Amino acid sequence: MRAALECGGDVRARVGAVVCACGSSIVTVMRVFSHTCSNTEIVCALGCAQMLVGVDSDSDYPPDVVAALPKTGRDLDLNIDAVLALKPELVLTSLTVPGHEKVVQALRDAGLAVRVCDPQSLQDVYADIQAIADALGVPERGAALVAQMDAAMPAVAATGACPKVLVEWWPKPVIVPAKRSWVTDMLQRAGGCNPWADEDAKSLPLDHQRVLAAAPDVVVMSWCGVKEENYRAEIVIRRDGWAALPALRHGRIHAISEAYLGRPGPRLVEGYRRLRACIAELQEQGTHSPM
């Protein structure tokens, strides 16, 4: 595969040859297809959007980049023939969603060169960003992006009992991140804790009794595949027994887009900021329950 070349001129990416016009010379750069939103966002944050020849239909950011690119189906229903038609030299994919493994195998079976991300911790996210940067020929940009992200998500010193935060990936059944999730690391950095941080899983379905026993101080709706404006606090409020939870007694039900928590890429920084704001508000009020 050809390494990406930096250039300062006009950049254009189309279904045909991907070229970078630098003054009087034309430089061919790597043809990359991105499967999953997080990989698309990583490529663009690395300054390599010109390499993209297509993305999955769920990739929606940056909007000005993805609007001009061919879409080949949703992340779990990818049209492999359409991907092949784009003639990518590298396909960036992931195992972050159950069912992705079938798509990954289909891409491999089609003879495509595939780079698979399967981050579980925040350090894994950083490692994937660096690996993608290396594959695209811009390792120094990867190191810089990781350093920026890490600096933007400082660990907050604990003061007193750790506020318990329920991050909700899905409302029915309630599904939460567990030990093997970067969100657990983000919560810890933001001064809170995940009540299910010791559960050895990526995510965990919960019944109401387990939630009531944990008594979370904050509930964060971050429903996968749902736009933030469609999150509904009343769905949380009307659940049996939940009115007794500290989070609901003190009106601490927050919405943070899944784009900021569920996509292991550069915009996790915004998710951290919003988590920190929720936890800081609670700490100022001094109304969280002891562990």
Phi, psi (5° rounding) for residue 230? -100, 0
3 state SS of 255: strand
pLDDT digits (tens, 9 = 90+) for 82-136: 999 999 999 999 998 888 999 999 999 999 999 999 999 999 999 999 999 999 9
3 state SS of 200: coil
| DSSP bridge pairs for 168 | 221
In this model, does residue 21 exceed pLDDT 50? no
Task: Tell me the fold of 165-285.
Answer: Rossmann fold (3.40.50)
Helices 37-45, 122-135: crossing angle, 10 deg rounding: 60
- For domain 10-152, give the CATH superfamily: Nitrogenase molybdenum iron protein domain (3.40.50.1980)
Question: Beta-carbon neighbour count of residue 283 at 10 Å?
Answer: 18
Measure the N-to-C terminal CA separation of the chain; round to a whole number of Å: 52
The whole-number pLDDT of residue 285 equals 79
d(CA 40, CA 265): 9
Listed residue (71, 74, 77, 108) closest to 91, CA to CA: 108
CB 217 within 8 A of CB 289: yes
In this model, does residue 254 exceed pLDDT 60? yes
Average pLDDT, the chain: 90
Percentage of the chain modeled with pLDDT above 70:
89
Name the H helices within 28-138. Answer: 37-45, 63-66, 80-85, 100-109, 122-135
The whole-number pLDDT of residue 5 equals 29
Q: Cα 211 vs. chain centroid, distance in angstroms?
A: 25
**Token pair for 49:** 């959007």
**Token pair for 257:** 């887009």
Q: Which pTM value belongs to this model? A: 0.88
**Token pair for 119:** 């981050």
Phi, psi (5° rounding) for residue 211? -70, -45
3 state SS of 207: coil
Please determine whether the domains at 10-152 and 165-285 fall in the same fold group of CATH: yes
Domain ranges of the chain: 10-152, 165-285
